[in-house]
Amino acid sequence: MRIILLGEPGAGKGTYSAELVKRYGIPQISTGDMLRAAVKAGTALGRQAQEYMKKGELVPDSVVIELIRERIQERDAAKGFILDGFPRTVPQAQSLEKMLESMSIGLSTVLKIEVNKATLLRRLTGRRVCPNCGATYNIDTMKPKKDGICDKCGKELIQRPDDRPETIENRLAVYQKDTAPLIEFYEKKGLLRRVQCEGEYNEVMARIFDSLEKVAKV
């Protein structure tokens, strides 16, 4: 199962990815995590990426694509993978497509997480993260056992600057401009599956799994 997850900031892609990892035994591939790991390991691509990061510049798509190529050749990705956070634009999707074709790999589906704007705003403004271990909570839907304290390590939770109301509208506008065109791109290829992700968590996961099981039977 080779999956791309699409959805606005706050749609729940990270949460749903974790469930898919457990269900299908395939890794979630985050380009941000890959970049940090490559830099830390001092690989050739990591050193190349670090040069751009030192200057405060975006790492070129070509470097990210090569990181993905290396990552999906690792043993744990033999049965598939979940791409979360990439591609973000149509040119990135086209580059990814060419790379996968060169490896004779096809995507199973592109899962579009459907959530209305009011829910997105509530989730984003309610999100709290642990600055120590990275655990994520939500003051409405995933509360810690003790208010404001991480269940895992006991550190005080924080609200990220980009989860504050004044920046959320801009993040959603950027998504619509840059990432939303991917929906049409993958729809034309017959890969897009929309899943309504409003409602109770277990019901949402059941809809996601049902959509993916239909793909597996094709």
The DSSP code for 10 is T
Q: Is the pLDDT of residue 141 over 80?
A: no
Q: What pLDDT does 57 receive? A: 78
At 161, is the pLDDT very low, low, confident or very high (cuts 50, 70, 90)? confident
Encode pLDDT of 168-193 as tens digits: 888 888 888 888 899 999 999 999 99
Q: Would the CA dihedral through 28, 29, 31, 36 be positive or negative?
A: positive
Instruction: Find the mean pLDDT for residues 128-137.
Output: 91
CA 209 – CA 138 distance, rounded (Å):
23
Q: Please identify every residue annotated as catalytic.
A: 13, 88, 127, 160, 171
Q: What pLDDT does 83 receive? A: 94
CATH topology for the 2-27+74-217 domain: Rossmann fold (3.40.50)
Q: What is the DSSP string of 134-174?
A: --EEETTTB--SBTTB-TTT-PBPB--GGGSHHHHHHHHHH
Q: What pLDDT does 33 receive? A: 82
Q: What pLDDT does 217 receive? A: 66
Q: Is residue 50 within 8 Å of residue 102, measured between CB atoms?
A: no
CA 49 – CA 185 distance, rounded (Å):
28
End-to-end C-alpha distance for the chain, whole angstroms: 12
Encode pLDDT of 37-57 as tens digits: 888 888 898 898 888 888 777
Q: Residue 3 forms beta bridges with which residues?
A: 82, 109
Can you give the pTM of this predicted structure?
0.82
The edge-to-edge listing of strands for the beta sheet with 2-6 is: 28-30, 81-84, 2-6, 109-114, 192-196
Q: Would the CA dihedral through 174, 175, 176, 182 be positive or negative?
A: positive
